[in-house]
């Protein structure tokens, strides 16, 4: 038996996830936290060690888990992270950062993977998910 629920947009999908039964809520929370940890590790691994290690150490994850789900925020907080990723304007040519070392594209890819994992989870529970 499959159930069809139409959810328009990512915000509505998030709201629907918050209203899942307990077993699915716990599974969704585990998916969110695992992907957040993955994003943190990928960015830390992409950043160069540098003389102090501050760029890598500046990647942080704040997580909140409750009976209603989980939330995680991964940030690159090193004071010079923006300079590393964007360089500085001046007379010298701007340093180019390889795309695999930029935090934002890594965050976007991991978030896309997380949403896919959440969609697969609700599909396994019998919901039908379609894209429009």
The range of the structural domain enclosing residue 109 comes to 3-128
Per-residue pLDDT band at 62 (split at 50, 70, 90): very high
Residues 37 and 62 sit within 8 Å (Cβ to Cβ): no
Residue 1: predicted pLDDT? 45
Q: Side-chain half-sphere of 126: how many Cα atoms within 13 Å?
A: 6
**Number of structural domains in the chain:** 1
Question: How far is 30 from 68, CA to CA, in rounded Å?
Answer: 12
List pLDDT tens digits, range 3-19: 555 667 777 777 776 66
- The neighbour count for residue 62, using CB atoms within 10 Å, is 10
- The neighbour count for residue 105, using CB atoms within 10 Å, is 14
List pLDDT tens digits, range 80-123: 888 888 776 666 666 677 767 788 899 999 999 999 999 899 88
Question: How far is 69 from 56, CA to CA, in rounded Å?
Answer: 28
List pLDDT tens digits, range 81-90: 888 887 766 6
Q: How far is CA 113 from CA 10, 12, 39, 72, in A?
A: 14, 18, 10, 15
Say what the pTM is: 0.76
Question: How far is 115 from 35, CA to CA, in rounded Å?
Answer: 10
């Amino acid at each position: 038996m499959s159930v069809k629920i139409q959810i328009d947009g990512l915000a509505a999908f998030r709201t629907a996830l918050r209203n899942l039964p307990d077993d699915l809520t716990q599974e969704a929370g585990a998916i969110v936290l695992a992907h957040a940890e993955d994003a943190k590790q990928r960015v830390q691994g992409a950043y160069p060690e540098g003389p102090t290690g501050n760029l890598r150490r500046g990647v942080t994850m704040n997580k909140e888990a409750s009976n209603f789900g989980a939330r995680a925020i991964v940030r690159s907080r090193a004071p010079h992270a923006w300079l590393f990723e964007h360089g500085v304007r001046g007379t010298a040519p701007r340093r180019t950062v390889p795309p695999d070392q930029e935090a934002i594209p890594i965050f976007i890819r991991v978030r896309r993977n997380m949403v896919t994992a959440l969609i697969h989870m609700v599909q396994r529970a019998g919901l039908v998910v379609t894209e429009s």
